[in-house]
Amino acid sequence: MQCELCGNECSGRCKPAMVDKVKMVLCPRCIQYGEGVKEIQGSPIHVHKSLVRRSNRLKEKDVYEKMNIELISNWDDAIKDARKQKGLTREQLGFNIGEPTGTISKMEKGELRPSDKVAKKLEKELNITLFEEVKKVTPQHTSSESQGLTLADFIKKK
């Protein structure tokens, strides 16, 4: 039998435990990461979750950094104002660019970030600029260790 977290052989010593709502068989060394510790603030599992969230955000930003072109920060208002100026309803705008009305209203509320394709269609349709050129973006990666870190890696590093 192997520990499902670190992969170490642990015949006879492995115990089932809940890790992050997933049932896993853990060796005595990893059992501390199972059910019972996750309520403790700053436990390894909490740290790991925030690392994942942060690296996901960075990944999303990276796409735009490579192109040195970013969506303007107030794209939601820019879309709404331009649409109103053109006297279009959300339905009409959606029809014109081939997107559902729900997509338009979510974008105007800032709930949905328009994809490059949709943003370009909006720029053309509404005669606005949704992208801005970013001169030089300093990488925001405070720690490269947070990139693609798995729970098992995290524990190994300790």
**Residues contributing to the site for Zn ion (CB under 5 A):** 3, 5-6, 8, 27, 30
Q: Give, to the nearest 10 degrees, the angle between helix 90-97 and helix 116-126.
A: 110
Q: Output 27 or 128, the one with its CB closest to Zn ion.
A: 27
Distances (CA, A) of 145 to 16, 42, 44, 52, 108: 29, 18, 15, 11, 36
Q: Output 8 or 92, the one with its CB closest to Zn ion.
A: 8
Angle at 89 between CA 88 and CA 91, to 5 degrees: 120
Shortest Å, Cβ 43 to Zn ion: 16
Shortest Å, Cβ 19 to Zn ion: 11
Collapsing DSSP states into helix, strand and coil, what is residue 70? Answer: strand
Amino acid of residue 132: E
Q: Output 112 or 152, the one with its CB closest to Zn ion.
A: 152
Q: Output 26 or 130, the one with its CB closest to Zn ion.
A: 26
Place of tokens 């990488």: 139
Shortest Å, Cβ 29 to Zn ion: 5
Shortest Å, Cβ 151 to Zn ion: 11
